[in-house]
Amino acid sequence: MKTYLCFFLTLIFISLCVTDVTSQTPSQNLIKKIIKEYNALNYRQAEHNAKQALLNYHKFTSAELVEVHKYLALIYYAQGKLDDSQKEFETSLSLNPDLVLSSLYVSPKIINFFNRVKTEFKLKSQTDEKFALKYVFVEDKRIGAGLRSLALPGWGQIYKGEKKKGITLISLWTASLGGLLVTHLQYNNALQKYKDAEEFKIESKYKTYNSLYKARNSIAVFAGALWLYAYFDATFKKEKPADFSAPDTAHFLTPYFGQNKILFTYRWQFKK
């Protein structure tokens, strides 16, 4: 059993190494491209990259979206599109009201413009004026799901809401462990009988011992593959975002900001 323990520990080490290597996400790389193009004064390409990012906003974290909208606002300001710049700054502030611009990277003129937008935005938020909420964030459960499936294949899938898949994986994992234990005990018993067998029975005892040896190894490989699949599926497979783009309906989630309270209303409108 020591061999199989080393096998599973090796699998855990490999999976953790792969997770570390892939820590630089495509969304972070795209943001770097936006910043690079902006700093190179290539505003058209930077704007294109930012708009491409927003088309797949569900792949970005809240903090990453703040950066995208912030740089899109800076791009619009550089192009003289002040109204568009203000809207993008307001979207950034709606995600992070404490956002500030660094004087090391942004000119005083832009900082003054941003501070004015920020002041107006705060005043609006203290009134009963309505704001359209552009993003509805759902908790990314993949890290927690991956750790759970690392401990028990299928647990992470259940944590993410994929109950049928999770129960199936747990059942297969339990069955494979049970089969591995049974065949290992039978293998040890057959091995001992093979060693103690009289000369005319050695061949038949060897066949039994060899068959159990192969069966045990096959079950061990299956269990390892199942464990790896459950871990990577839980860690890297994203949950599907809610689809609010049905052709016959429109969905609206709108907050109302009062002095001491924030209320949200949800409206489902059928198109004519």
* 208 vs 141 pLDDT, higher one: 208
* Confidence band for 28, pLDDT divided at 50, 70 and 90: confident
The DSSP code sequence of 119-179 is HHHHHHHTSS-B-----------HHHHHHHHHHSTTHHHHHTT-HHHHHHHHHHHHHHHHH
DSSP class per residue in 207-256: HHHHHHHHHHHHHHHHHHHHHHHHHHHHHHPPPPPP----TTEEEEEEEE
- Picking from 2-6, 72-76, 148-152, 250-254, which range would have the lowest pLDDT averaged per residue? 250-254
Q: Please, are residues 203 and 126 in contact by the beta-carbon 8 Å criterion? A: no
What does the pLDDT read at residue 19?
45
CATH class (in words) of the domain with range 26-125: mainly alpha
How far is the C-alpha of 27 from the C-alpha of 18, rounded, in Å?
18
Q: Any idea what DSSP says for residue 60?
A: S
**Residue 247 pLDDT > 60, yes or no?**
no
Task: Report the pLDDT averaged over residues 130-142.
Answer: 62
Report domain extents, the chain: 26-125, 140-236
Are 170 and 248 in contact, with CB atoms under 8 Å apart?
no
Confidence of residue 272 (pLDDT cuts 50, 70, 90): very low
| Minimum mean pLDDT range among 65-74, 94-103, 137-146, 172-181 | 137-146
Q: Among 85-89, 127-131, 134-138, which range has the highest average pLDDT?
A: 85-89
Contact at 8 Å (CB) between 49 and 35? no
Four-residue CA torsion sign, 76, 42, 93, 114: negative
**Band of pLDDT at residue 248, cut at 50, 70 and 90:** very low
Mean pLDDT of 79-101: 90
With bands split at pLDDT 50, 70 and 90, how would you rate the model's confidence at 245?
Answer: very low
